[in-house]
Amino acid sequence: MKHSKGVSHWVILLVLSVAAWLLYQNVGGAGNEEVDVVHDLDTEAGLRAFAATVDAEDVLMYSTTHCPHCAQARSWLKRYGFDWTECNMSTTPRCEHEFRALGADGTPYLVVRGHHMKNGFDSDEFLAALN
């Protein structure tokens, strides 16, 4: 009887050890570190994957309805699936007031995570501002 009690203690210890290890794995232990994902921004698939990480609040575009450069920026953003917030000065007076307060003088004027794109839309500058 003494021998079987010793074995059962070892079994209980083994079960508790495995349970503790599994809990460690699933609740912020090994394997749950945040991983910085590197996207290949030279491919359409990489750009789409990166775009999925961007929130509309990260990108604010001041535009006008008949601005061809604004249309090009919109088209590029849509093509890769980026979300953004648009403030159209042709339809919303508040947008023109904000635009002027920023000292901006041309459209599209983008504010990307605090970075002001002052010379229109440039995809390289846009992606750099998001990184």
Length of the chain: 131
For domain 44-130, the CATH superfamily is Glutaredoxin (3.40.30.10)
Instruction: Give the other-Cβ count within 10 Å of 106's Cβ.
Output: 12
- pTM greater than 0.85: no
Q: Tens digits of per-residue pLDDT, 71-122?
A: 999 999 999 999 999 999 999 999 999 999 999 999 999 999 999 998 999 9
Kindly report the three-state secondary structure assignment for every residue of the chain.
CHHHHHHHHHHHHHHHHHHHHHHHHHCCCCCCCCCCCCCCCCCHHHHHHHHCCCCHHHEEEEECCCCHHHHHHHHHHHHHCCCCEEEECCCCHHHHHHHHHCCCCCCCEEEECCEEECCCCCHHHHHHHHC
Tokens encoding 28: 């912020």
Domain range list for the chain: 1-35, 44-130
Provide the token pair at 27: 């609740």
The per-residue pLDDT for range 53-80, each reduced to its tens digit, is 999 999 999 999 999 999 999 999 999 9
